[in-house]
Amino acid sequence: MNASSVAAPSADAGQTRSFPTIGVLALQGDVREHVAALAHCGAHPVLVRRESELAEVDALVLPGGESTTISKLLAAFELLEPVRARLRAGMPAFGSCAGMILLASEVLDTRPDAEHLSGIDMTVRRNAFGRQVDSFETDLPFAGLEDGPVRAVFIRAPWVERVGNGVDVLATVPNGPAAGRIVAVRQGNVVATSFHPEVTGDLRVHRMFVELVRAA
Q: Which residues are catalytic?
A: 97, 196, 198
**CA dihedral sign of residues 115, 89, 76, 37:** positive
Nearest to 127 by CA among 99, 101, 93, 152: 101
Beta strands in 67-114 (DSSP E): 93-96, 104-108
d(CA 155, CA 100): 13
Backbone angles phi, psi at 177, to 5 degrees: -60, -25
List CB contacts of 81: < 8 A, sequence separation 6 or more. Answer: none
